[in-house]
Structure 1
Amino acid sequence: MTIDTVLVANRGEIARRIIRTLRELGMRSVAVYSDADAHAPHVQEADQAVHIGGSAASDSYLNVAAIMAAAAASGAQAIHPGYGFLSESVQLARACAAAGVIFVGPGERALEIMGDKATARDHVALHGVPVVPGFTAAGMDEDEIRARADEVGYPLLVKPSAGGGGKGMEIVRSGDELAGALATARRVATAAFGDDAMVLERLVQRPRHIEVQVFGDTHGTVIALGERECTLQRRHQKVIEEAPAATLPHAVRRRLLDAAVAAATSVEYVGAGTVEFLVEADAVDDVFFIEMNTRLQVEHPVTEEVTGLDLVALQLHIAAGGAIEAPPAVRGHAVEARVYAESPERGFLPSTGRVLLFDPPRDVRVDAAIETGSEISGFYDPMIAKVIAYGADRLTALRRLDAALARTVVLGVETNIAFLRALIRDDRVRRGDLDTGLIETMLPFTAPQPTPAMLAAAAQAAPLGRRPSAADIWHELPGWRIGGSAAPPPIAFVTDDDTIVEAPTAYAHGIPTAVDDDGAVWVFADGMTTRLRPLSRRERMRRRLAERERASAPSRPEGRAPMPGSIVAVHVADGDMVRAGDPLVSIEAMKMEHPVLAPHDGTVHLLVALGDQVRRDQPVARVSEQETA
């Protein structure tokens, strides 16, 4: 079977990654794009691009009919779904079969069984794969769920049956927390996957998250290409991945690989897949199946680095009917860091805006969704790049990754690069003493303050601003005055945490800077990006006066949006009495949900409604202390 044109039913870095392999194989690539992605890099790099709908994923990348229409219009013989979106969609696989288009992925049976966590769990248990104690909550009422949960014991992990990526997962440490966790998990699952069915499992206390890369062909062969350590994660979202797993005994590795092959063989698996396991960090012999992802994974590059294989090329080879050869030996070590458009110091809230400068290192592999000028919207996942380093051993790979992150320049949006460097420098990470809760022990994260060299570079880049009027001239202009100094006053800036900093008069060399539309200066050095807003003398005086007023005033009455997004839940009614810390509304952006909490006790007055779009720092509710009595 010959494939010469492939439609890539995805966006961002994975679309670019697939297009790169298609180009190397001499195949024609077809990109699809939403309104928000009209000028995205993957659209520019493909041989052809087809518009498929609005910015919301449900109107475009999740629209099976639009994807199939694009395939027909472009003459594509195959559809590669990448990961996320429709990559594990039975509906897309069926539509491909009906249209005579090759789906670059497994068959419908594997998608149906492994696409539902509850079904997958029960199925693999029958084939000798160890599973975590738990149950499926489908068809149960609240009382029945509570009774079964009490039988299994706490703590429990509540997770959606459909989907993946950690979305909708909630930890329940007592029966009293169960109802609230179920409500939140169901709401997120419905929004993300259109299915609110839940699985409840015993929470492994100190887990490591280890997955096995498997491949199957149409001739009945299934192989494992080694394992990956995905333990360093936050809110069930992976942050750092590596291959092979750190400090894993050979016997446990063999057990994982055999169990993964057994799980894949049980559904006659075809194509790339990943079987995920939990391993108890303090008793590595305890191995439990979590789920099987029936697609390529975000972290597949680390497997490519240690095997020398192109996994996308292997997917296409299998889709065309080719046979799998014996797996190559794993050599060396590879580590991948996910670069997100988010602010670790503000609780990892997503960051949106225009990328003023993107300059990645050239001596390591970087798979990026962005380029200079790219727009980061709130419609999609906040991951914007992956930095992958290889070394002969684990410590070498970690050192190379750290050095590469120090040279990964992103200006215009906040990123987690400084946090990533702190993480891979942690002694526990270096020793391989890992568990999924490690990142939480490092929080809250405090971003380093800008260095004198960064401030000097910002001062050189700062816009001169408007010409002062005659009325302002004595306030704004520097220079000589009677009884004053001939030296100009230092340039002052305000950081995003509202700190005033002054720039030295020194000249800075080689430090990247960029100025945004608001006149703020973005500056980068050693993996740290800072946004600095120039502060005039008059504005500085106003701030001092405002600080005095705030010191004598009651606490801030508004609950404000921590990020731009959509109101997906309203937890109180207008006029309700609330306590400090009570959730008022929840905001969703970039597939993440964040509550806005009451700043103090009082009576709440809502300023938004369900479904409203809000800006960062926009007041969403006001809590009146005066009405409390």
Structure 2
Amino acid sequence: MPPFERVLVANRGEIAVRIIRTLRSLGIRAIAVHSDADADAPHVRAADEAVRLGPAPAAQSYLDLDAVIGAALATGAQAIHPGYGFLSEHAAFARACADAGIVFIGPGVRALEVMGDKIAAKAHVAASGVPVVPGAGEPGMTDDELIAAAAAIGVPLLVKPSAGGGGKGMQAVRDAADLPAAIASARRLARAAFGDDTLLVERFIDEPRHIEVQVLADAHGAVVHLGERECSLQRRHQKVIEEAPSPLLDAATRERIGRAACDAARSVDYLGAGTVEFLVSAHEPDTFFFIEMNTRLQVEHPVTEQVTGIDLVAEQVRIAAGRPLGLAQQEVALTGHAIEARVYAESPARGFLPATGTVLAYQEPRGEGVRVDSGIGVGSVVTADYDPMLAKVIATGADRDEALDRLDRALADTVILGVDTGIPFLRTLVADPAVRAGTADTGLIDRLPTPEPVVPSEAVLAVLAAELAADDPVEDPVGPGAASGLWRERSGFRIGGARPRRVVFVCDDGDVREVAVGQGASDAAGASDAAGARLRWVDAGCEASGAGSTGSEASDRLIHAHADGLPFDVRVVDRLVQVGRDLAARRAPAAAAAAEPELRSPMPGTVTALFVADGDRVAAGDPVLAIEAMKMEHRLTAPLAGTVRLAVTNGEQVARDRSVARIEPDPAADQAPDERSPEWTTT
């Protein structure tokens, strides 16, 4: 008999799809919930039933406790699986489920309350003999008290919210002078994300490795661990690539860290699946420190499933139904190696800023040892309302090298067009020597250079130009009364030889490429059969020509494409328009002198802080405002000295590239117009 008859999944995206898959395999009727933005999302289509929660903002839908409980009661759900994020670590939600007679598929309220507070969690596990990172922090501590406590610990430091997880609000501080600004930023993000701005400061360990241990605990006193995962490849404290097992730990340390994780779980009478996270010094791999416990399923849980053969969601459901664990510690065996890459909606060449848009083409990789957990499909609309993760690509091999090779091939075969993704950077990261050697620490990504835009090869552009020309409908410039049909043919015929058709591309790096197509063109396209076989593209239609364009200009066609294992965008430009732009560019220095420098939003998001008032005077580099979206806060600074003219208010939603402020140059300042860009900057 299945553990339950009907289970509601209080989440969205890839995790909801993944949970629904296991529920159906167990013979359980799966009930989805959704916001207005997700009415036709893949997780809704995968479920047996679906209930609307509310508008797109998470606070009015997925985070609405009453709406979620009401949906469960209305559909007769016996249990709720919260997935991760949203309500998964919300003690009040677990309590509300119990009050409504609904099983919460997760730990008890005590575990959620103790482990949900990083300060309390450290003190609690330390009392149980689990080693912790030196730090300080108590509820109600003021900024000055935190600064005083930090002085005793010493830099480098990590400032982090006590509530929540996922790297939200964390700030690394290497200079004591930067601590006040880091505390202020962390408080803002913590208050907005968790409704609790309690902070703690702790020692930042140089060249750390992030190791976490998966545990399972039932209501009958059994606690086992399923080995460790290495999650050291992080950007802004957000995990990017994870693997199991860790290449750092030996068998003895694996046994010790696993025992410590089980002790931490037992100390709060843990129930279900949970993850205990540790920092391990690369220089002392046999020494580890407790960071926190995530009282939920983790994003990276598939790598553990791949090497143990255990379905963690199924175990969660059985444990929640009161059934005992079906395995003992000595029965847990790790076979092979598994690596997972998170595919985010982001623009690597723009500083990994979150991206939005509509998925116009989607293709998942296939092959031996490849698994994909995805929450998107063709037509999916990616907004700034939710986490930017679109999918996870997981590869398993007999050893680590085989797993890495399979992951790279799988990423190359993943096609997502219409929304920028981090796939180009992921492939670069997988090929990095430190990653291949298994020696990467949590600071590796920060040390890498900013990714360059993906630029297609000449062969790929030749094939794309030929396909665009063939796909372009033939126009009839002289009408049906013409003397001959020859005038309506695009043969390129002219006396003395055929004239090829020319297609002008503008690549993401700003480079302009002109490709000849048709009679009289070179045989580049014909020699590019291999490139053509790998090419996939969609025409996103016309977009505005840009600043300085006139109504008489033809708009650019935006093409999203994928070739040679990488996605890229190009604009197809009218040749005459491009000539006009080239001429205008030569006059740009003179035009720039009269322009008013503007700060533009680097991403769609919410204005979370205004550091100045309208009319204030600022110096070059002074902070003006902060914008937050998808777990990221970006501070925009003044590009030159002058008077600020704000175009937004605190809490306002802004679109990408919208003008949010401008700086009226100080006429008394000696500022050459060609020495500063009038664009926004971020820190």
> Where on the TM-score scale, by shorter chain, does this alignment land: which range?
over 0.9
Shift of 1:312: 0.5
How do 1:452-467 and structure 2 match up within 5 A? 452-459=458-465, 460-461=467-468, 464=472
Q: Which residue is equivalent to 1:474?
A: none
Q: Shift of residue 487 of structure 1?
A: 1.8
> Residue deviations 1:196-245, cap 9 Å, x none?
00011011011100000001000011110000000000000000000000
1:575 to 2:615 alignment? yes
Q: Which amino acid aligns with 2:43?
A: H
Residues 171, 2 of structure 1: alpha-carbon distance in 2 compared, 3 angstrom cutoff: closer
Q: Per-residue displacement from partner, 1:137-189 (whole Å, max 9, x unpaired)?
A: 42223332222111111111000000000000001223321111111000001
C-alpha deviation, 1:593, in angstroms: 1.7
SS of the residue 2:140 aligns to: coil
- Shift of the 292–466 alpha-carbon distance from structure 1 to 2, 3 Å rule, reads farther
Which amino acid in structure 2 is aligned with residue 371 of structure 1? G
Match of 2:449 in 1: 443
Greater shift, 195-204 or 494-503, is seen at 494-503
Question: Aligned-pair distance for 1:254?
Answer: 1.8
Out of 396, 400, 419, the position equivalent to 2:402 is: 396
How far residue 574 of structure 1 moved from its aligned partner, in angstroms, is: 1.8
> Is the CA contact 2:384–2:629 (under 8 Å) kept in the aligned structure 1?
yes
Relative to structure 1, the CA distance from residue 159 to residue 484 in structure 2 (aligned partners, 3 Å threshold; closer, same or farther) is: farther
In 2, the alpha carbon distance for the partners of 1:487 and 1:418 equals: 37
Question: Which residue of structure 2 aligns with residue 493 of structure 1?
Answer: 505
1:344 aligns with 2:348: yes
| Structure 1 stretch displaced more, 243-252 or 577-586 | 577-586
- Write out aligned runs for 1:194-213 (5 A): 194-213=195-214
Offset at 1:456?
2.8
Q: Is the 8 Å Cα contact of residues 421 and 527 (structure 1) preserved in structure 2?
A: no
Give how far 1:553 is off.
4.0
Which of 612, 615, 624 pairs up with 2:652? 612
Equivalent residue for 2:550?
A: none
RMSD of equivalent CA atoms: 2.0
Deviations 1:304-342 (A, max 9, x none): 000001110111111111111214201100000000110
- What's the CA shift for 1:464? 3.9
Distance 1:128 1:268 in 2: 16
SS, match of residue 461 in structure 1: helix
**Corresponding residue for 1:592?**
632
SS in 2 for 1:88: coil
Q: CA deviation at 1:268?
A: 0.7
- SS of aligned partner of 1:514: strand
* Partners of 1:478 and 1:488 within 8 A in 2: no
Alignment counterpart, residue 540 of structure 1, candidates 554, 578, 582: 578
Do the aligned partners of 1:226 and 1:244 also contact (CA within 8 Å) in 2?
yes
Q: Take 2:127 and 2:633, find their aligned partners in 1: how far apart are those partners? A: 36
Query: What is the TM-score normalised by the length of structure 1?
Result: 0.95
**What's the CA shift for 1:356?**
0.6
Check whether the contact 2:454–2:567 (CA below 8 A) recurs between aligned residues.
no
Shift of 1:190: 0.8
Partner of 1:564: 604
After TM superposition, give the deviation of residue 90 of structure 1 in Å: 0.5
Q: Which whole-Å CA distance do the structure 2 matches of 1:171 and 1:199 have between them?
A: 12
Percent of aligned pairs sharing the same letter: 56
In 2, distance between residues paired with 1:376 and 1:33? 14
1:520 equivalent in alignment to 2:530: no
Residue aligned with 2:425, SS: helix
Instruction: Indicate yes or no: 2:362 matched with 1:361.
Output: no
Give distance in 2, aligned partners of 1:318 and 1:565. Answer: 39
Match of 1:5 in 2: 6
Residues in 1 aligned to 2:157 and 2:565: alpha-carbon distance in whole angstroms: 38
Which aligned pairs between 1:59-98 and structure 2 lie closer than 5 A?
59-98=60-99
Identify if the C-alpha distance between structure 1 residues 385 and 503 changes in structure 2 by more than 3 Å, giving closer, same or farther. farther
Moved more, 266-275 or 479-488: 479-488
CA deviations over 1:277-317 (Å, ceiling 9, x no partner): 00011121331100000000000000000000111011111
Q: Which moved more, 1:154-163 or 1:604-613?
A: 604-613
Query: Which residue is equivalent to 1:25?
Result: 26
Provide the rounded CA distance (Å) in 2 between the counterparts of 1:466 and 1:421. 40
Counting only pairs closer than 5 Å after superposition, residues 206-245 of structure 1 correspond to structure 2 as 206-245=207-246
Residue identity matched to 1:162: A
Residue 334 of structure 1 is aligned with which of 328, 334, 338? 338
Asked whether the 8 Å contact 1:601–1:628 carries over to 2, the reply is no
CA deviation vs aligned residue, 1:251-294 (integer Å, no higher than 9, x gap): 22222111100100100110000000000111213311000000
| Cα contact 1:157–1:169 (8 A) shared by 2 | yes
Partner SS for 1:520: strand
2:146–2:200 CA contact under 8 A, matched in 1: no
SS in 1 for 2:502: coil
> Post-superposition shift, 1:31?
0.2
Structure 1 range deviating more: 135-144 or 289-298: 135-144
Tell me by how many angstroms 1:92 deviates.
Answer: 1.0
In 1, Cα distance between the equivalents of 2:495 and 2:193? 66
1:136 Cα deviation from its structure 2 partner: 0.8
How many residues are paired up? 623
CA contact (8 A) 2:626 2:634 kept: yes
Q: Per-residue deviation at 1:579?
A: 2.8
| Distance 1:601-1:264 versus aligned 2 partners, 3 A rule | same
Shift of 1:126: 0.1
Deviates more, 1:429-438 or 1:559-568: 559-568
The one-letter code of the counterpart of 1:188 is: L
- Please give the TM-score of this superposition, normalised by the length of structure 2: 0.88
SS at 1:491 equivalent: strand
1:595 Cα offset (Å): 2.0
- Report deviation, 1:488: 2.8
For 1:466 and 1:482, the matched residues in 2 are separated by 18
SS at match of 1:515: strand
- How many Å apart are 1:604 and its aligned residue? 1.9
Q: CA deviation at 1:490?
A: 2.3
Task: Give the 5 Å matches for 1:79-478.
Answer: 79-324=80-325, 325-327=327-329, 328-363=332-367, 364-459=370-465, 460-461=467-468, 464=472
Q: Is the 8 A contact 2:505 2:570 kept in 1?
A: yes
Letter of the 2:537 counterpart: T
- Equivalent-residue separation in structure 2 for 1:292 and 1:530 (angstroms): 39
**Aligned mates of 1:215, 1:612 — CA distance in 2:** 43
Q: State the SS of the aligned residue for 1:509.
A: helix
Does 28-37 or 551-560 show the bigger shift?
Answer: 551-560
Q: Determine which of 569, 576, 586 is the counterpart of 1:531.
A: 569
Change (3 A) 1:517 1:68: farther
**Residues 1:223 and 1:482: Cα distance change in structure 2 (over 3 Å):** closer
Asked if the contact 2:160/2:171 (under 8 Å) is kept, the reply is yes
Q: What is the one-letter code of the residue matched to 2:406? A: R
- Read off the aligned partner of 1:326 and give its amino acid letter: A
Q: Secondary structure at the match of 1:275?
A: strand
Query: In 1, distance between residues paired with 2:303 and 2:453?
Result: 28
Unmatched segments (≥5 aa) in structure 2: 479-488, 518-524, 527-531, 543-556, 670-683
SS of match in other structure, 2:587 = helix
- Amino acid of the structure 1 residue aligned with 2:427: R
Using the TM superposition, give the Cα deviation of residue 628 of structure 1 relative to its aligned residue in structure 2, in angstroms: 4.8
Judge which range, 458-467 or 117-126, deviates more.
458-467
Q: Which amino acid aligns with 1:409?
A: V
Residue 473 of structure 1 is matched in structure 2 by: none
Q: Give the letter aligned to residue 384 of structure 2.
A: G
